[in-house]
Amino acid sequence: MAEHALTPSGESTSALPGLPGVVSDWSADKQAFPVPWGKAMMWIFLLSDTFIFTCFLTSYMNVRISTTVPWPNPSEVFSLDIGGAHIPLILIAIMTMVLITSSGTMAMAVNFGYRRHRANTTALMLITAAFGATFVGMQAFEWTKLIREGVRPWGNPLGATQFGSCFFMITGFHGLHVSAGVVYLTVVALRVWRGFYDRKGSYETVEITGLYWHFVDLVWVFIFAFFYLW
């Protein structure tokens, strides 16, 4: 019995051997399951990233529970002296609000993108990127403060030695994602402003960018809960 496959034009043809057959199969699947490849690849990437962050946070919780040396108190370690007052977690709270707000501006950008409002989409994406850059700047300040206090990935004068390695690994990996997101947002925003997606006839890339940014924000919520509040 002859095997058949769909060509990109939707016509049924005999299955082809070798590489042409593989291309024909993938083309048939694309028609049978009309999911944009860009969005599908982003979901696969985010799923793999979810596993990585889950491993990091699970390892952190295991270290935190098993260590016999007292773990540093986050309210003391991540506090700032403002006007002579000792305010715990104030910088972390601001960083969290910045990311949550950026998630809102990104959602608005996607909404305007669907409606093909080029100026509003561009402005909101650049505002989102600015929020992301602000977050990275505040995180750099936080790192600098802890390094001046002697905290290192291999040591910690404030308590358990593992604190430094866990902190720099988890927040550094997340900060790298935020930094990449800022660049990603800026590039897409410039393409929106230049009318690239109007000529293409689709603002799908804006939605894909939003998926990535919302993921980065969601991961921070878990880091905030497990690392700073626990």
Dump pLDDT digits (tens) for 16-39.
Answer: 677 776 666 666 545 445 677 889
Based on the fold, state whether residues 29 and 40 are members of the same structural domain.
no
Q: Which two tokens stand for residue 105?
A: 């501006």
Burial classification of residue 129, based on how many CB atoms lie within 10 Å of its CB (0-12 exposed, 13-18 middle, 19 or more buried): buried
CATH number of the structural domain spanning residue 115: 1.20.120.80
The mean pLDDT value of the chain amounts to: 88
| Boundaries of domain holding 12 | 1-34
Tell me, what's the pLDDT at 100?
Answer: 96
**Per-residue pLDDT at 198 exceeds 80:** yes
Alpha-carbon span 79 to 177, nearest angstrom: 25
Contact 10, 34 (CB under 8 A): no
Whether this prediction's pTM lies above 0.85 is answered by: no
The total domain count for the chain is 2
Say yes or no: 27 and 41 in one domain: no
Q: Which two tokens stand for residue 227?
A: 């690392």
pLDDT at 33: 55
Query: Are 9 and 107 found together in one domain?
Result: no
Residues 143 and 76 in one domain: yes
CA distance 170 to 177: 11
% of the chain exceeding 90 in pLDDT: 64
Tokens coding 165:
């390695």
Res 125 pLDDT > 80: yes
**Could you tell me if 119 and 162 lie in one domain?**
yes
Clarify whether residues 146 and 202 are in a common domain.
Answer: yes
| Same-domain check for residues 104 and 11 | no
13 and 57 share a domain?
A: no
13 and 85 part of one domain: no
Same domain membership, residue 196 and residue 99 = yes
Mean pLDDT of 157-164: 87
pLDDT at 120 over 70: yes
> Same domain for 123 and 221?
yes
Checking if the pLDDT of 182 tops 90, the result is yes
Element (H, E) at 187: helix 162-193
Separation CA 152–CA 168 (nearest Å):
8
Can you tell me the mean pLDDT for 90-99? 96
Query: In the 8-state DSSP scheme, what is residue 92?
Result: H
Q: Which residue matches tokens 């290192």?
A: 152
